[in-house]
Amino acid sequence: MQLPREVIVGNGTIEQVANISRKLGFTKSALVIAGSKTNDIAGKTVRELLEDRKMEVNTFLVETATIKDVETVEERIRTLKPEIVFGVGGGTKIDVAKCSSARQAIPFISVPTTASHDGIASPLSSIKGSGTPYSVLAQAPLAIIADTNIIMQAPWRFAVSGCADVIAKLTAVKDWKLAHEERNEYYGAYAASLALMSARLVIESADLIGEKSEEGIRVLIEALISCGVSMSIAGSSRPCSGSEHLFSHSLETIRPDCSLHGERCGVGTIMMAFLHGANWKQVKKTLEKLEAPASASDLGVDKEEIVRALELAASLRPERYTILHKMNLRYDGYGRLAKTTGVI
């Protein structure tokens, strides 16, 4: 198990960046990976705070998370030899920092500027062009510094997407249990419980989160971090990624850059909960309460694209047994599923 050693969530926690760095034994050099926007929002602050402590800091900006970006950052790491890599941003920047630092065997610290998915704390990274449309194991962040003040300034859509990514654990855990029962796959009750508890907490706190209060955003961030930790405990994405994620990945390949990861996972969770015989209406109601997408039109995709994505989902990752593999529906069956649940 590889777990974060320091997790700091709260208003103004970015100010702690140099203290945390020193506490973990990094006093000489660091490389900050950020995007041009997230560098303005938080990357420059991280750099200044570290430089105030006489650390040598370099910044490298990335805008996408492709295998080429990872290789370029790896080259920077080999040249600059930093003690520690900081990933400052939402999904893509943290993914690049996580993957490149892992491949160069140096630790990384996660400084999320949004709460849009659980990658901010997970040991997995999602890299385009790596041959897999889903996340693969990289390394867990050594520390997570989540400043609620910064995260609350991000567009609200990101937080809503993060909520949906946590709610998705309801069906991810059911799929994992199914694989254990029917395919004798390893199942970790502790990791599963942690992911499930996070989902339940976000559902219970939907009103609080909807108020856009600091307390609400804190619940969400802690839930996302707990999901990340559950993956570290399991040693895979199993507790957090099941059939609903397969649907999300396949819809993304059919209609790239149209919706956020968590938004697609939320819609997937409605349909997969139905297949599992679970309370799909509660999932749908919660998503609607949060004003998260709950249908094809909310996601900005055609009805037919939803059905095609469902059809493609099971073949995307044959080794990851889920309810989709068990049911083995055909095009018409998927159409009925999407209609019955009001997705199309």
Which residues lie near Zn ion (CB under 5 A)? 117, 165
Q: Which is nearer to Zn ion, 167 or 206 (CB)?
A: 167
How far apart are CB 121 and Zn ion at their closest, in Å? 12
Structure tokens at 64: 């996408």
How far apart are CB 40 and Zn ion at their closest, in Å? 27
Q: Which is nearer to Zn ion, 101 or 135 (CB)?
A: 135
- DSSP per-residue codes, 114-175: --SSGGGT-SEE--BTSS-SS-EE----SEEEEEHHHHTTS-HHHHHHHHHHHHTHHHHHHH
Q: H/E element holding 218?
A: helix 214-234
**E strands within the chain?**
6-10, 29-34, 56-61, 84-89, 108-112, 124-125, 136-137, 143-147
Q: Which is nearer to Zn ion, 247 or 334 (CB)?
A: 247
Query: Which residue has tokens 């630790």?
Result: 107
Q: Which is nearer to Zn ion, 87 or 335 (CB)?
A: 87
Question: Which residues, including other chains, have CB under 8 Å from residue 122's CB and lie 6 or more apart?
Answer: 135, 140, 227, 228, 231, 232, 237, 240
Beta bridge partner(s), residue 32:
59, 86
The answer to whether residues 55 and 29 touch, using CB atoms and an 8 Å cutoff, is yes
Q: Which is nearer to Zn ion, 147 or 165 (CB)?
A: 165
Q: Give the residue at shortest CB distance from Zn ion.
A: 165
Beta bridge partner(s), residue 88:
34, 111
How far apart are CB 241 and Zn ion at their closest, in Å? 6
Determine phi and psi for 329, rounding to 5 degrees: -75, 170
Q: Which is nearer to Zn ion, 77 or 309 (CB)?
A: 309
Q: Which is nearer to Zn ion, 45 or 116 (CB)?
A: 116
How far apart are CB 47 and Zn ion at their closest, in Å? 29
Pairwise CA distance, residues 280 & 145, whole Å = 34
The answer to whether residues 332 and 338 touch, using CB atoms and an 8 Å cutoff, is no
How far apart are CB 244 and Zn ion at their closest, in Å? 9
How far apart are CB 339 and Zn ion at their closest, in Å? 25
How far apart are CB 51 and Zn ion at their closest, in Å? 35
